[in-house]
Amino acid sequence: MILVTGGAGFVGSNFVLDWLAQCDEPVLNLDALTYAGNLDNLASLQGDSRHIFIHGSIDDGELLSRLLAEHKPRAILNFAAESHVDRSIHGPEDFIQTNIVGTFRLLEAVRAYWSGLADDAKAAFRFLHVSTDEVYGSLAHDDPAFSETNRYEPNSPYSASKAASDHLVRAYHHTYGLPVLTTNCSNNYGPYHFPEKLIPLVIHNALAGKPLPIYGDGQQIRDWLYVKDHCGAIRRVLEAGRVGETYNVGGWNEKANLDVVHTLCMILDELSPRSDGKPYKAQITYVKDRPGHDRRYAIDASKIERKLGWKPAETFETGIHKTVQWYLDNQAWVAKVTSGSYRQWLDRNYGART
């Protein structure tokens, strides 16, 4: 059995679904079900004995110790995190609590559990920590992409909290010998993405006839990674990654935010045209940029390809078409997650910028 934390969130739920589609090894899924955690993501697993869901948080040390003793997982994959930069600007404390304190308490519980294992189980055990490229800071236009040796220069409360969690994971390996692996990924997109991030927000607003908000000049560059490719990379790192190592996971798809929005508009023009015949790009609205907005991220994913033989299967063009089609086919899911609290958040974050 493996333990997945944050397994009802965007990347975590995609990983759980992908894992159980690939093999029969059971998953113990721990999630606090905050606003972005959604059991509807896992509806297809209802009644599946391979999936055991536990409602709880990684900062609950007593719960963690009990679950580890009872289920005896051979590996732990930590997806649990607060992950939205804008929310971290408005309310950083949740990010400190989950990403730093929560990771610490998880590591403490895991260290105690791992120390008590028999020698063979102890040697085979792995703790895989899923992190972000944002810990590296921002790149100038001509800078080389982030490699695993880039120094950490986080610029938001979110990225600073993730950087701290990465440092804790590294410290628990070097101090206590805990067999850890860390992945730092670029911007994910795909099914079950809560519509506060750029791609699902634009799709949702476009179909609703609402403005498509672009921060600043829209020339902030991100590397885009289809979430199912990310899941494949994590499986490969868990299987063959070298203990103590970090692996950057990227899609080799650097795109300016404005170009991403134009692409989404063109796909929607094709798949679900507006009733008035106008293009969706007519809904684009430029709003005040967010504080400390990093200009460019780019991931050099050559190490994971060279060492572990992984590379993304999807191009941006194939992945983004699949993503738009998924949202068109799953409007009931979107309607359910875009509740009153979601609308209040949009008003809070974007209202003062327009």
Annotated catalytic residue, options 31, 134, 294, 300: 134
For residue 247, which of 192, 196, 183, 299 has the smallest C-alpha distance? 183
Distance CA 78, CA 165 (A): 11
CA angle 162-322-50, nearest 5°? 65
Judge whether 59 counts as a catalytic residue.
no
DSSP bridge pairs for 213: 285
* Helix residue spans in 138-197 (DSSP H): 157-176
CA–CA separation, 136 vs 254, rounded Å?
16
For this structure, is 24 an active site residue?
A: no
- C-alpha–C-alpha distance, residues 251 and 226, integer Å: 7
Strands 221-226 and 254-256: antiparallel
**Look-up of token digits 């009990």:** 66
Active-site position among 31, 133, 196, 254: 133
The neighbouring-strand residues paired with 76 are 3, 127
Q: In whole angstroms, what is the distance from residue 144 CA to residue 199 CA? A: 25
Interhelix angle 103-115/61-71, nearest 10 degrees: 40
Bridge partners (DSSP) listed for residue 146? 299
CA separation for the pair 229, 15 (Å, rounded): 10
The residue from 113, 136, 158, 192 that is catalytic is 158
The two structure tokens encoding residue 101: 């304190």
Tokens of 330: 């799953």
Residue 158 a catalytic site member: yes
DSSP alpha helix (H) spans, 187-294: 198-208, 227-240, 257-271
Active-site residue numbers? 133-134, 158
